[in-house]
Amino acid sequence: MSRPHIEPFCDRDVSFKNMILPGFGSGFRYKTLSLDNETGACSLTVQLDSGYKQPPGFSYSELEIVVVEGVIKVGDMTCNRGHYFFVPAGYALPQIESEHGALLLMMYNTGEPNLIESDQHHQFSRTELYHHVDSYKDIVWAPGNVVSPSVAAGCMIKLLNYNPDSHAMSFLYCMTPQFHQDNISYHDCAEEGYHLWGTSWMMQFGDLPTGGYFWRPPYINHGAFASEYGCIAFGRTDSKLYNHFHYNPWSTPDENQLRSAARLAKRDPFLYKWCVNMSHNHPHGPEDFEDTMKRKGHTHADGTHHHHDHDH
């Protein structure tokens, strides 16, 4: 997921456009929140107009959906605001309709939005990953200290999706009224957020109101935080969320990255040394022994190419 830093941004400040990609019917309008211009992956605010109806079908991209306002029917199921869907690539959803209209958050995680009309899943779809939940009614708020080191008390989460390999997470988070946290955070992962309701304040970016959004690449300082009346938001990371806290508002992303690497060197010195040197005199990217495509050699910046004959 490579997208530029977008922050602060509020979708209420821009207007909807008609979706013209094939497969989507009329009455599907969108605002782009963020876009990976290499893969077409994007996050959209979507307005389904009254009477919108779309046939059963799948996307070639993994898709997450949150019902922000209004009601949609997915097959026979009525989904109110707060309903969350994790839809693997190639998973055919039944007919979707909205009698009185709805506002959705739609995140196409791995490719551009598409809708291939079908009542069958794609043969390679990992259908076992599909799940959905009424996140407002059927999950309770958990303390935010499931992430270590912990955010301040009063920031709570509901975990919606978790990738056991990358530790990427999708979740709701809320700040209770009068929440405040006085330190500055950055992470080793990209972080995305959308305010479903309410306003929070951040030292670097000011007030983020209802409809407020950020796509924040790794190592960017954010915080202190506060929220006078509280807020509820959808959040997502692309890998493990670790809270690097500090109090230096002037540190740069490069300095934050070096500090993070220094912390790794202290915590896992042998792993760190091995990743950086590979018993060799230059950096070498790590390999996963479970990967099916093994790299046997590599090319240096000066154009020379060689193979390692030692076994990693």
Which is closer to Fe ion, CB of 28 or CB of 173? 173
Shortest Cβ distance from residue 7 to Fe ion (Å)?
Answer: 11
Q: Are the beta carbons of 68 and 105 closer than 8 angstroms?
A: yes
Which is closer to Fe ion, CB of 64 or CB of 191? 191
Which is closer to Fe ion, CB of 31 or CB of 187? 187
Phi, psi of 267 (to 5 degrees): -80, -45
Count of positions on this chain that bind Fe ion (CB under 5 A): 2
Shortest Cβ distance from residue 259 to Fe ion (Å)?
Answer: 16
Which is closer to Fe ion, CB of 29 or CB of 216? 216
- Per-residue DSSP letter, 14: S
Shortest Cβ distance from residue 238 to Fe ion (Å)?
Answer: 13
Which is closer to Fe ion, CB of 135 or CB of 185? 185
Report, in angstroms and rounded to the nearest whole number, the Rg of the chain calculated over CA atoms: 21
**Tokens for 121?**
């899943």
Long-range contacts at 29-35 (CB < 8 A, ≥ 24 apart): 30/106, 33/6, 33/9, 33/194, 33/213, 33/215, 34/3, 34/4, 34/6, 34/192, 34/213, 34/215, 35/3
Q: Which amino acid would we find at residue 3?
A: R
Shortest Cβ distance from residue 114 to Fe ion (Å)?
Answer: 31
Shortest Cβ distance from residue 173 to Fe ion (Å)?
Answer: 10
Residues 173-212 touching Fe ion, rule: CB under 5 A, are 185, 191
**How far is it, in rounded angstroms, from Cα 92 to Cα 113?**
14
Kindly list the residues in this chain that would bind Fe ion in the complex (CB under 5 A): 185, 191
